[in-house]
Amino acid sequence: MKKVKRKLGKYEVGRTIGEGTFAKVKFARNTETGENVAIKVLAKSTILKHRMVEQIEREISVMKIVRHPCIVRLHEVLASQTTIYIIQEFVAGGELYDKIHLGRLSEDEARRYFQQLIDAIAHCHSKGVYHRDLKPENLLLDFQENLKVSDFGLSALPQQGVELLYTTCGTPNYVAPEVLDNQGYDGAAADVWSCGIILYVLMAGYLPFDEADLPTLYTKIKAAEFSCPFWFFPGATSLIRKIIDPNPQTRIKIEGIKRDPWFRKNYIAVRAKADEVVNLDDVRAVFNDIEDAFVSEKSEDSESGPWIMNAFEMITLSQGLNLSALFDRRQDYVKRQTRFVSREPAKVIIETIEAASESLGLKVHTHDYKTRIEGVTTNRAGQFAVVLEVFQVAPSLFMVDVRKAAGDTLEYHKFYKTFCTKIDNIIWKPKEGQGWLKTGAEPQCGTEVRTNSIAFS
């Protein structure tokens, strides 16, 4: 079977860089400007079947309204007869969650990310938008390690005459206590609480509220029953306690945070461009008549076999021009998107992956050198899924891209380490001093890669 290279209007569409239950994210290039972008691909049939039209339209509209340097930028929305394409900024530095997984951050580094987060959320609130699902997994980093807020799927837009929100949503460990009470809450105050939890996690390396069962977790959240580690400086502890205040009426507001002495140290405000015109015509066109065709899709046949990833594409996955970031030695560190290298033929790689997956009791689906493996999460609370795709990077040298598609991130880390022991025979481990692409880097199982983690439903 021949693989297909696609063009979507002015965009040349490449490999899949993210995959979830309802959407895929593709790497693409604007052929007019040469700019790299990420395209979120959603099937109209899926959106209609799951009654997600309103949610997706809201998310797109919000991302166009809240234009800020610390928020993932939405360029435009396109549609064909069957599919909606959301063209977004390509953010290549990975998730902030990945940095925390290595351990707590220094006070200065945590403060810098927190300052950028507060600037971004202040801008959202100035537009009447409340995120409602702030957590490290939804905070991305660009090449310069600047923060980018993503995933506005649960965000709320202002409604005429409505001051309180009533939808209970968000991730339990980061959600404000008033959101759990089901009696209405202020979206701005709820976002501030989540920002405080994020700051705590950045500096501590763990959550302030982290219980195995939800009733105990909610009890501690509502009572703000937590303690700060001994290494927190007094200024940070004082600010965190003002933010993680169970009473939204007395909880510090963003204006107060920006005046706080600890916050203001080395603070350089990040501001949006003044009076930037936002046009929602393309969004309305897509959703007013969800069956219309707006762009042409062309396919170009190429030789059979797995996708060939050229050096330029590989550079876009690494930090700048240093390819060694693709092949880090730390085998005990797994990111949301991970890679390993093999010298076995592509078919042998796929067969080994399938056999290893089946030995772990997982369901296997393979198509065109891409395998999706599925199972049930350890606590049986939902689906667990991982996608593995084979790319050719040189003659007789293949790279296998592994990414979480569903389930908890920590569970994915545990799975990957177990999975590696099952496929160890196909993983290429160069001898000492043997380089790869003349970089001197040695690919190992557990290789990390800083890659785009555009949020997907």
CA atoms within 13 A on the CB side of 192: 28
- So what's the pLDDT on residue 449? 34
Which listed residue (133, 142, 191, 401) is catalytic?
133
Q: Per residue of the chain (457 residues), what is the pLDDT tens digit?
A: 445 558 888 999 988 888 776 788 889 999 999 999 999 998 888 888 777 777 788 888 888 888 899 999 988 888 887 888 989 999 888 788 888 877 789 999 999 999 999 999 999 999 888 888 899 888 999 988 999 998 877 666 655 334 556 555 667 889 999 988 877 888 899 999 999 999 999 999 999 998 877 888 889 999 999 999 999 999 999 999 999 999 999 999 999 999 999 999 999 999 887 766 676 777 777 776 664 444 555 555 444 677 776 555 554 555 443 444 444 433 334 455 578 888 888 889 999 999 999 998 898 988 878 888 988 765 555 678 888 888 887 777 888 888 888 777 777 877 888 888 899 898 887 664 444 443 333 334 544 333 333 333 3
DSSP letter for each residue of 31-89: TTT--EEEEEEEEHHHHHHTT-HHHHHHHHHHHHH---TTBPPEEEEEE-SSEEEEEEE
Q: Strand, helix or coil at 415?
A: helix
CA gap 206, 83 in Å, rounded: 40
In whole angstroms, how large is the CA radius of gyration of the chain? 23
CA gap 380, 408 in Å, rounded: 11
CA gap 53, 290 in Å, rounded: 9
CA gap 393, 315 in Å, rounded: 12
Q: pTM surpassing 0.75?
A: no
In the annotation, is 133 catalytic?
yes
Order of strands, edge to edge, in the sheet holding 83-89?
A: 74-79, 83-89, 36-43, 24-30, 11-19, 2-8, 297-304
CA atoms within 13 A on the CB side of 398: 23
For Cα atoms 456, 171, 217, give the angle at the middle one, nearest 5 degrees. 160
Q: Strand, helix or coil at 388?
A: strand
Domains and CATH numbers, the chain: 2-91+294-301 (3.30.200.20), 96-264 (1.10.510.10), 307-448 (3.30.310.80)
Dihedral angle over CA of 85, 91, 94, 99, nearest 10: -140
DSSP letter for each residue of 264-321: HTT-----PPTT-----HHHHHHHHSTT---S-EEEEEEEESSEEPPHHHHHHHSBTT
- So what's the pLDDT on residue 314? 57
| Burial category of 32 from C-beta neighbours within 10 Å (exposed 0-12, middle 13-18, buried 19 and up) | exposed
Is 99 labeled as ligand-binding?
no
CA gap 66, 72 in Å, rounded: 9
